[in-house]
Structure 1
């Protein structure tokens, strides 16, 4: 079936922000005696929902303290992301999608303030924006991607998803979407195991363009 839409995750997919989130998380957790590293971040934090992460890692905090921790962490992230740039090849893919009449949706676990902050800096506009905080369940649940498909009024076979975490890939694949994974934060084998059919370092990868041309 002809491709009609591209669905994108945000962090680690449109821009290589994962290392910035990692820094902000590890700085915040260190104040509570948790000395994490990259492996800890990948296993315990990457691709998750903020409230769930904080409740699990810092159960001693009150609900108000958990909210304050998350707000401080995200404010620190926005400081670190002030000079963020799109992943290589994204602009070319964006222009190609526009020339083909493909619709575009953002599907993210990111907090609303972060999402708008990054999209403004990247200069991107979407036909639909689906944020997990507005839904009963976030990634890895398929609901965010199913919601995006409903907004676009298309079936999963008419769209392609781009993700960067096993959690995100499981969400997209669970909604019936063919999923390309960016290897900005996780190794290919973990993304393939989650269900990605293609793993690429960025949007310049010729394997992506070969597939898109076949589907055009």
Structure 2
């Protein structure tokens, strides 16, 4: 089977941004007079913004807090942090360069909302992606298959001929449900037993290897 496209998650997969999110989430918890636990932070990895706010508000004992207010505060803080630059995950920039040089269509598929993604694209390079699908541009976000199905649709390819690269259980579940072959590269949480091929990092990952996953 021919590889039609590679579909890439952003936070924790291409960019080492989960740690930046953690800083902002701790700041948000403190803003509300609480302290975020490690268990709550782990539960948020790969979760939608709505679910993350549910987890945080419950964790700090303030379930009555307004989701929209917390989301706006958090994303404003993230813009500040992202604007300082976000480091790449090991091997990610090199993999993108290799795939672009060989003409492989690429999609960025993220649960993060568009206005934050636009800041990150200053690091990632807008020219590197044929399609960008953000969390506020699909009816359901990860773990629903909608984001990956939408990316394949925009590229005009069969999702079954795509490799998705993810770092979270929700992201892996989304890509598997969409019918993609999945390469899981753990960042903050383990990813064994989720129906994906697991690699320690993207270092050394190349086109021949990705083709073997189909």
> Which range, TM-score by smaller chain?
0.7 to 0.9
How far is 1:110 from its partner? Answer: 0.2
- Counterparts in 2 of 1:119 and 1:141: CA distance versus 1, 3 Å: same
How far is 1:40 from its partner? Answer: 2.4
Instruction: State the TM-score, normalizing by the size of structure 1.
Output: 0.86
Partner of 1:102: 104
What secondary structure sits across from 2:193 in the alignment? helix
Partner of 2:87: 85
- In 2, the alpha carbon distance for the partners of 1:172 and 1:54 equals 23
Confirm or deny: 8 A CA contact 2:163 2:213 kept in the other structure. Answer: no
- Matched length: 207
How far is 1:139 from its partner? Answer: 0.3
**Corresponding position: 1:67 with 2:71:** no
- In 1, the alpha carbon distance for the partners of 2:27 and 2:194 equals 29
- In 2, the alpha carbon distance for the partners of 1:54 and 1:87 equals 26
Confirm or deny: 8 A CA contact 2:173 2:194 kept in the other structure. Answer: yes
How far is 1:29 from its partner? Answer: 1.7
Q: Name stretches of at least 5 consecutive residues in structure 1 with no aligned partner.
A: none
Aligned-CA RMSD value: 2.2
Confirm or deny: 8 A CA contact 1:164 1:184 kept in the other structure. Answer: yes
Confirm or deny: 8 A CA contact 1:180 1:200 kept in the other structure. Answer: no
- In 1, the alpha carbon distance for the partners of 2:34 and 2:123 equals 32
How far is 1:35 from its partner? Answer: 2.1
How far is 1:214 from its partner? Answer: 4.9
Instruction: State the TM-score, normalizing by the size of structure 2.
Output: 0.87
- In 1, the alpha carbon distance for the partners of 2:213 and 2:50 equals 39
Partner of 1:158: 161
**Corresponding position: 1:149 with 2:152:** yes
Partner of 2:187: 184
Confirm or deny: 8 A CA contact 1:22 1:41 kept in the other structure. Answer: yes
- In 2, the alpha carbon distance for the partners of 1:2 and 1:110 equals 30
- Counterparts in 2 of 1:193 and 1:215: CA distance versus 1, 3 Å: closer
- Counterparts in 2 of 1:55 and 1:121: CA distance versus 1, 3 Å: same
What secondary structure sits across from 2:80 in the alignment? helix
Which stretch shows the higher mean deviation, 132-141 or 86-95?
86-95
Partner of 1:48: 47
The superposition leaves residues 142-190 of structure 1 with CA deviations (integer Å, 9 ceiling, x where unpaired) of 1110111111111123211111110000000111111112222112xxx
Q: Name stretches of at least 5 consecutive residues in structure 2 with no aligned partner.
A: 58-62
- In 1, the alpha carbon distance for the partners of 2:179 and 2:116 equals 27
- In 2, the alpha carbon distance for the partners of 1:73 and 1:38 equals 18
- In 1, the alpha carbon distance for the partners of 2:133 and 2:210 equals 24
